[in-house]
Amino acid sequence: MRFALVGNPNCGKTTLFNQFTGSNQHVGNFPGVTVSIKTGKIRSRANCTVVDLPGIYSLRPYAADEILARDFIINEKPDCIINIVDATNIERNLYLTLQLIHMQTPVVLALNMMDEMRSNGGSVDTAKLSELLGIPVVPISAAKNQGVGELAEIAYETAARHIRPKISDFCPPGPVHRCIHSVTHVVEDHAERQGISPRYAALCVIEGIEDITKSLALDENEYELCEHSVLEMERETGLDRYAAIADMRYTYIESACARAVKRPEESQEHIRSRRIDNILTHRTFAIPVFLCIMLAIFYLTFDVIGAWLSDLMAFGIDQAAALVDRGLTAYGINPVVQSLVIDGVFGGVGNVLSFLPIIVVLFFFLSMLEDTGYMARVAFVMDKILRKIGLSGRSIVPLLIGFGCTVPAVMATRTLSSDRDRRMTIFITPFMSCSAKIPVYSMLVAAFFPRYRGLVMTAMYVAGMVAGVVFALVSKKFVFHGNPIPFVMELPNYRMPSMKTTLLLMWEKAEDFFHRAFSVIFVATIVIWFLQTFDIRLDVVTNNEQSILARVGGAIAPVFGALGFADWRISTALITGFMAKEAVVSTLSVLVGKLEIISLLTPVSAAAFLVFVLLYTPCVAAVAAIRRELSSTWKAGFFVVLQCAIAWVCGAVVYQVGSLLF
């Protein structure tokens, strides 16, 4: 059996998914975390799987994630829908519930966060609500794992017996009721052939949902009959078709809640959140506070905690390399093999691994901000600024995710309902400094700007954002014409961050880093070692200037002369960085060693190199994600070339101006 988890953003869907499956899916406190379908086995039922769908407010699709969720329900036909509802916002959440009931798929309602509702004096008569909705209602607290087992059993029983909702008509007699009844009669045969509930199909036709209406293949007379019924309804109610249907649903929801729900008093959490928001979302202080918070995080990460842990790990790796080197020497192993292990594996992969603590510490702080609910406020505060450059405030979610990894950030643009906003955000996201660039920044900053480590690292992140803003302003004028759509986002109450969630995110990032280090970066390191160890006749070289790699890199190196690093070793590192940005560090470590990087660059050329790494094309996985989301190879390829050109121009400006000043 297969169960689908469906609910509004921020209602606890992914938390419930984790409780069901034992999975370590990332749980966030702002909309947009779940942007793709995740599937897992239910621990208590070995033969059952559960699918975590993106959070949606309605089955009337605006954004790609809403279309994804709706189409999964229609086409994949799960055995049962588990509809998660935030009990503290029950009226708004039940709007989606009524739409799901109209689809006539078995549905179980999971009333989440009941512990919060009860603690604030509220309650729900679940038996009465179940009677009014015609579906089972189960109170739970997903975060505390309360009622989850009972929910799994009831969902299994509902699916096994294929119990459909007992009620499908929530409309009192009147114009809306007559319209739905007449349109249902017209589309009934067409809907059944498509495997769609006739009532749901009728509502789609009334609300003008084009793709569903087209799939019904109504002839001209049938379509005109439907439109005539809709026009009659609009004339009698004085409302347009969308408002009339919404009014019908909310009228029933309000009636049901009046009979089954005792509203809670304003919670202490909400009172506290309002007081905190007086400062954190203040029209004057919000941006300075956000910048101060981020500056503090970067300082602690790159100057204090992360830097200390990174130095400690680097010391440990160096000691391990020295120990292995002595052991191999004592064993009398072939010098070429010894060079592979020490210079290749330890010199390349080992140096990349030494930056793992910095990445983990950074995401510890970012996870804390996200889990408290502050990230949702950042989106709210940044909306006004983003609108000036042609973006919606909702774009801030993918952009913030981009500081972790460009791949999920590009996927997160599915939450944007406007195709214009979505494409524009996809093109801007790679300018954000992903975590893979941190090892490159850290190595260069430690070598050339050790006294200003935190300041330079912060400047790199700010420079990426500035580049994104400039690119957005230019593309808004020449490419992405029009205005962003209005921005609406729920601001959740502030909550104490979950240490479990934070540790899971840290582990996820560490696991991803290890995976990349011992897959892409490991292979790249071995290839680089081989190419710089042998010449074209496969003889071991005494001087790597005679190697295969020197010939290849030397052909490309002159391109970077205007940037101050026309050395074949630098150009080679930048090429391997296309596979994974961490490979820049491993390549330079294999070719020149971590300490000898100073011999290749000056502080000015190092600054130009940092700017180039910041702005040039993202890794191949990110490019593949961009191609997939845009459904266009040439657009993705054009963007790669464009970013490289932008990086070259900016790097050249930094070097030429810096050379004049210093």
Confidence of residue 488 (pLDDT cuts 50, 70, 90): low
**Residue 94 pLDDT:** 94
Segment 570-605, tens digit of pLDDT? 888 888 888 778 778 878 887 776 567 788 888 999
In degrees and rounded to multiples of 5, residue 625 shows phi and psi of -65, -40
**Residue 29 pLDDT:** 45
Helix (H, G, I), strand (E, B) or coil at 68: helix
Written as one string, the DSSP assignment of 449-502 is -GGGHHHHHHHHHHHHHHHHHHHHHHHHHHTS-S-PPP-----PPP-PPPHHHH
**Residue 30 pLDDT:** 47
**Residue 502 pLDDT:** 76
**Dihedral sign computed on CA atoms, order 438, 444, 446, 450:** negative
Task: Kindly list the domain boundaries of the chain, sorted by start residue.
Answer: 2-160, 175-239, 288-483+522-661
Is the pLDDT assigned to residue 159 strictly greater than 80? yes
Written as one string, the DSSP assignment of 230-247 is HHHHHHHHSS-HHHHHHH
Segment 610-649, tens digit of pLDDT? 999 999 988 877 888 888 888 888 888 898 899 999 999 9
Biggest distance spanned by C-alpha atoms of the chain: 95
Average pLDDT over residues 122-140: 93
Segment 330-362, tens digit of pLDDT? 888 888 888 888 877 787 677 677 777 877 887
Closest CA to 241 of 211, 212, 202, 214: 202
Segment 147-156, tens digit of pLDDT? 999 999 999 9
Segment 36-79, tens digit of pLDDT? 677 888 887 778 889 888 888 888 766 666 777 888 888 888 99
**Mean pLDDT in the chain?**
83
**Residue 348 pLDDT:** 67
Cα 188 from chain centre: 40
Is the pLDDT assigned to residue 417 strictly greater than 90? no
**Residue 27 DSSP one-character state:** -
**Dihedral sign computed on CA atoms, order 573, 576, 410, 421:** positive
More confident residue, 441 or 339: 441
Is the pLDDT assigned to residue 252 strictly greater than 90? yes
Q: Which residues contact 249 (CB under 8 A, 6 or more apart)?
A: 95, 98, 99, 170
Closest CA to 639 of 440, 459, 419, 410: 410
Residues 440, 613 contacting (CB under 8 angstroms): yes
Residues 599, 365 contacting (CB under 8 angstroms): no
d(CA 363, CA 301): 9
User: Whole-model pTM above 0.85?
Assistant: no
CB-based burial label for 337 (10 Å; 0-12, 13-18, 19+): exposed
Instruction: Give the highest mean pLDDT range of 41-45, 229-233, 527-531.
Output: 229-233
Query: What are the angstrom distances between the C-alpha of 294 and each of 13, 32, 470?
Result: 29, 21, 21
Q: Where are the beta strands (DSSP E) in 558-645?
A: none
Confidence of residue 110 (pLDDT cuts 50, 70, 90): very high
Instruction: Give the highest mean pLDDT range of 50-64, 210-224, 288-302.
Output: 210-224
Strand partners, 51: 4, 39
Selecting from 3.30.1490.20, 1.20.120.1780, 3.40.605.10, 3.40.50.300, what CATH number does the domain 2-160 have? 3.40.50.300
Is the pLDDT assigned to residue 28 strictly greater than 60? no
Q: Which helix (H) or strand (E) holds 52?
A: strand 45-52
| Percent of the chain whose predicted confidence (pLDDT) is above 90 | 23
**Residue 140 pLDDT:** 93
Strand partners, 83: 6, 109
**Residue 526 pLDDT:** 81
Closest CA to 4 of 43, 74, 51, 41: 51
